[in-house]
Amino acid sequence: MITVGVEEEYVLLDPTTFLPLPRAEEVRAAAGLGSWADEGEVQNELLQAQVEVATPICTDLEEVGGHLLRLRHAVGAAAEDSGCRIAASATAPLKDVEPVPVTQKLRYLKMREEARRLVDEQLINGMHVHVAVPDREMGVAVLNRLRVWLPTLLAMSANSPLWDGRDTGFASWRTIVFGRWPVSGPPPCFTALADYEQRVDALLESGVIADRGQLYWQARLSERYPTVEVRCLDVQLEATDAVLLAGIARALVSTAIAEEKAGAPSAVCSPELLQAANWHAARHGLDSTLVDPEGRSRSAGDVLCMLMRHIGPALEEAGDQREVGALLHRLLQQGTPADRQRRALAEGGMPGLCSLITSEAAAR
């Protein structure tokens, strides 16, 4: 069984003004002292109004969901004890005039020196799925086969329609903000592991990025774990939304490994078309067309059907087909988290929206 792990980032909000609150250190420390989370499972992020959680290594989707609920409960309770709330939105809905302070780590402080305004606007929260691969050579082959599905995953995960109190017109504004870093967006196609390493070394030698942590491709090889890391996803409103995406990401990796071993041809999509498909997915979510892995514009429903056919055998082998199918049906009925945010804003204004993103995050 291919193992999987999930990381989620949350923003801390004032329960009255809904503005970001820089209390990450208090929340992290309080969460680590409780019985619901180990200290290492809750970490600081770039800005002091953000926290990140990481599940242990999981073998099935029930484990993923259980750990995410446990960690959301732990961090949510710690936040309330610290006078704030965690919000499961990929952008902070409002921001103050003064930027949120940077976490006092040398790496983060250097990033702010290099890109002050960009760091000030990094009030964005992602979901990262780590899927185990046999080795880094196979990991590169997986990246080459996975990259064409990243816009579809992004569209399904869209959960950041608001910025500075206004609707951006995008389903995933986080994708647009994050895409301003030097190395971002869909990864290129690599000929082999040696090509991957040579390109990364060239980026580091250029001095434009400081370390491999700034390889902000939407999928990359992890430097800490024997995994491929899928990073295109917005953080999800509910833990069950995250379970769906984790199951699909694992099935895509499993399918890519099987195809690579069988010598099956992979879909080819030019960098410029893939980048355009990614922007289109961020703009529309599932409310319009999507660009399929061969570069054709099709209805979002048709592309999701293609995806399920593509990963069907892998889902069946892992025992995930029924759960993923049910959760996908629920997504299509309710819409993306971005759709739900917009409905909450229309029905209840900013208080209604913030009630949605904070209550779901705290796993009540």
**pLDDT tens-digit profile of 197-241?**
999 999 999 999 999 999 999 999 999 999 999 999 999 999 999
Q: How far apart are CA 211 and CA 166, in angstroms?
A: 34
> Measured in whole angstroms, how far is the alpha carbon of residue 258 from the centre of its chain?
25
Q: Which domains does the chain have, with CATH numbers?
A: 4-347 (3.30.590.20)
**Widest Cα–Cα separation across the chain:** 57
**pLDDT tens-digit profile of 103-121?**
999 999 999 999 999 999 9
Task: Report the pLDDT value the prediction gives residue 363, as an integer from 0 to 100.
Answer: 60
Instruction: Work out the mean pLDDT of the chain and round it to a whole number.
Output: 95
Task: Report the pLDDT value the prediction gives residue 361, as an integer from 0 to 100.
Answer: 67
Task: Report the pLDDT value the prediction gives residue 268, as an integer from 0 to 100.
Answer: 86
**pLDDT tens-digit profile of 262-284?**
999 998 899 999 999 999 999 99
**DSSP states of 195-241:** HHHHHHHHHHHHTSSSSGGG-EESEEE-SSSSEEEEEEEEPPSSHHH
User: How many Cβ atoms sit within 10 Å of the Cβ of residue 291?
Assistant: 23
